[in-house]
Amino acid sequence: MLPRAFYQIPGTELAPKLIGKLLCCESPEGLATGRIVEVEAYMGPLDKGAHSYGGRRTGRTEIQFGEGGYAYIYLIYGMHSCLNVVANREDCPEVVLIRALEPVSGLELMKQRRGRERELCSGPGKLCAAMGITRSLNGADLCSGPLYLEDAEEVPPDQICVSPRVNIDYAEEFRDVPWRFFEKESPFVSKVPIRFSAIGTLDEQAAAHS
């Protein structure tokens, strides 16, 4: 399992580091594992796309205000779970949404849960259904299981693309910030409108701001 210190950095730094890591979920049905290929960072009180915008601290968002390395899981449309990794240190409510996985192990289990053969994990709700991740795991310690991340071969910066985040038109000037990261050419990335295609890779973005 990845150590606590791995998570205790700003969300926009943690997000690209998650690309290529393995997300694992143990359950009575078995172990399911997926390789992370797409994420989005949500950056706390100043980010109008974040649940903690304005310092909003409720029963739902409280886990974000603790130290990094915990799971923040919420429902969309009242039915689909979405998994976020809590980043940074205490009182810095930043998270990284896991948007897509490349299935690695437990494929038959994933297919049973999703009731289909294809597109098992190409979206935040899809991947949670396939992995067996529900609201019951909200607040889970990612450093102790049953939901945890494992290290894997690092993805080079020139293979990590950057784009705006998806479906957050309500975020006003934060709608187009380049805080979505995904593996270049991965067929497992979620299907999104052309507006969310890459505006560059990590190393190109770094060069542009150097």
pLDDT category of residue 74 using cuts at 50, 70 and 90: very high
Looking at residue 210, its pLDDT comes to 67
Please report whether residue 141 resides in a domain.
yes
Instruction: State the total domains in the chain.
Output: 1
pTM of the model: 0.96
Q: Is the pLDDT of residue 78 over 80?
A: no
User: For residues 195 and 32, which has the higher predicted lDDT (pLDDT)?
Assistant: 32
Closest among 165, 156, 148 to 199, alpha carbons compared = 165
Query: What average pLDDT does this structure show over 8-19?
Result: 98
Query: What average pLDDT does this structure show over 76-87?
Result: 91
Looking at residue 77, its pLDDT comes to 78
Query: Which DSSP string do the residues of 97-144 spell out, in sequence order?
Result: EEEEEEEEE-HHHHHHHHTSSS-SSSSHHHHHHHHT--GGGTT-BTTT
Query: What average pLDDT does this structure show over 169-183?
Result: 96
Please report whether residue 160 resides in a domain.
no
Please report whether residue 162 resides in a domain.
no
Please report whether residue 164 resides in a domain.
no
Looking at residue 203, its pLDDT comes to 87
CATH number at residue 125: 3.10.300.10
Kindly state the percentage of the chain with pLDDT values over 90.
87
Q: Is the pLDDT of residue 175 over 70?
A: yes
What does the pLDDT look like over 21-68, one tens digit per residue?
Answer: 999 999 999 999 999 999 999 999 999 999 999 999 999 999 999 999
Please report whether residue 191 resides in a domain.
no
Bridge partners (DSSP) listed for residue 34: 23, 103
* CA distances from residue 35 to 3, 39, 79, 152 in whole angstroms, order as listed: 18, 12, 24, 9
Q: Which two tokens stand for residue 75?
A: 């429902």
Domain that holds residue 113: 4-153
Q: Is the peptide bond before 93 cis (omega within 30 degrees of 0)?
A: no
Please report whether residue 92 resides in a domain.
yes
Q: Is the pLDDT of residue 97 over 70?
A: yes
Q: Which two tokens stand for residue 147?
A: 């939901």
Helix (H) or strand (E) holding 94: strand 94-105
Please report whether residue 166 resides in a domain.
no
What does the pLDDT look like over 116-166, one tens digit per residue?
Answer: 888 999 999 999 999 999 999 999 999 998 999 999 999 999 999 999 999
Kindly state the percentage of the chain with pLDDT values over 70.
100
User: Phi/psi of residue 12, each to 5°?
Assistant: -70, -20
